[in-house]
Amino acid sequence: MPSKYANHLNYLLFYHMFFSLFYGWYIINFGGDSRGYWLFTMEQVKILNPTWMKYFGEGTTFILWLTYFPSKILGLSYPTGNLLFGFLGFIGIRYIFLLVYKHFPTNHEILGVPLFPTVFYISNLHFWTSGVGKDAIAFWAISWFLFSIQQYKEKWWQASIAFFFVYMTRPHMGQALIGGAAIAILMGTDIKRSYKFGLAALALIGSIYMSTFTLDALRMEDFNVSTLESYSSLKSGLLNKAYVGSSVNISAYSWPYKLFTYLFRPLFFDAHNIVSFISSFENLLYLWLSLFIYKNWSVEALRDMPLFLKAAMVTFIPVTFAFMNALSNLGIAMRMKNMLMIYFLLFCLYLIVHKKYTLHLRSLDRKKFFQRRQAIIDAKKKNVE
């Protein structure tokens, strides 16, 4: 890797650690469940005679299980916990950085600014992954999983460990991620067709088997529409009690506006504090790049797209549809979409750079063609003379 990109990884590390300190200050002053994970004051988790293994389970209890040793046994402070979780968040960012560097054919600039590695300095990418809580663990584990499946034949065991952390942190994300990875692998051209049917059957059986555990973890009976709506309403109501930002009645919106609100808001007219104001710039970038999807989309781009990005986008689509109906608070939407939004941005960027690179190769081919043609013409003239 050239030093200019290696240096950016060093800058990103210090940048991310700054956000870990800022995140702790923000939570202490404005509230949030992050301190509850470290100080074991989560009201929704009541355990008599608590020990480390009594906290082992999916979701909230899993984060308490992870924090038990450094908090209860070692007695580390909450700011130290933020640095520990923040470092894992940075490792996730590093995984994605390396994937983009290796698998994107070229770069693209806006107003003279190269999008790679600039997009890795987006503040929301760092803020929500820099402190104690589910967000940092889920983001790190998803990134590790996608990094591993890019070379799944050699790193399948790493993908298995990463999946464990995704599933235990957020079971529904684990369910979506494993399905997305299976579909992306089946879409690839490096697997024999005869093997694809076996892999598809294995993925289907595994998904059905895992769905029972996912339903238990989410305390749902099945995946029908009414049950999902009830679960979404319950979670939305609980989340909206937190100090997370301005509430927006998404339920009253049309389907297209729900999607737009989830993906691209808050914008400047929604900004009510410095966090949402900065997010407005980022969402404007998302909106701007998304306008180029139709112009740059091609079958060749989807075919050539690296496996990690295919898997991320196949996961991104159903998760987006689920969350846009569940969340009516912009602050929570910013937090929840952070797990996968970077991959949507990279998807838009890949379509742009793929077309740019393809046009460049075609221009080189045309240039070589005319050079050969001219050489033939010159040779004929020379023979005539």
The predicted structure's pLDDT at residue 204:
66
Q: What is the DSSP letter of 315?
A: H
Counting Cβ atoms within 10 Å, is residue 368 exposed (0-12), middle (13-18) or buried (19+)? exposed
Q: Cis bond leading into 256, ω under 30°?
A: no
Full DSSP string of 53-81: GGG-SSTHHHHHHHHIIIIIIS---HHHH
- 60-79: b (≥16 Cβ within 10 Å) or e: bbbbbbbbbebbbeeebebb
Per-residue pLDDT of the chain (385 residues; tens, 9 = 90+): 788 889 999 999 999 999 999 999 999 998 888 999 999 888 777 777 788 988 898 889 999 999 999 999 999 999 999 999 999 999 999 999 999 999 999 899 888 899 999 999 999 899 999 999 999 999 999 999 999 999 888 998 999 999 999 999 998 888 889 888 888 888 877 667 766 666 667 766 766 666 665 655 555 545 554 555 555 555 555 444 444 445 556 666 778 888 888 888 888 877 777 777 888 888 999 999 999 898 898 989 998 999 999 999 999 998 888 787 766 666 677 778 889 999 999 999 999 999 999 998 888 888 888 888 888 877 877 777 6
The predicted structure's pLDDT at residue 330:
66
Residues 6+ apart with CB under 8 A from 161: 144
Q: What is the DSSP letter of 23?
A: H
Q: Is the separation of the CB atoms in 62 and 217 below 8 Å? A: no
User: Residue 109 in 3-state DSSP?
Assistant: strand
The predicted structure's pLDDT at residue 219:
53
The predicted structure's pLDDT at residue 100:
96
Q: Which two tokens stand for residue 320?
A: 């987006």
Q: What angle do CA 83, 160, 320 make, to 5 degrees?
A: 70
CA-nearest of 175, 146, 145, 172 to 160 is 145
The predicted structure's pLDDT at residue 242:
45
Q: Which two tokens stand for residue 181?
A: 């990875």
The predicted structure's pLDDT at residue 241:
47
Per cent of the chain over pLDDT 90 is: 44
Task: Tell me the chain's radius of gyration from C-alpha atoms.
Answer: 24
Q: Cis bond leading into 266, ω under 30°?
A: yes
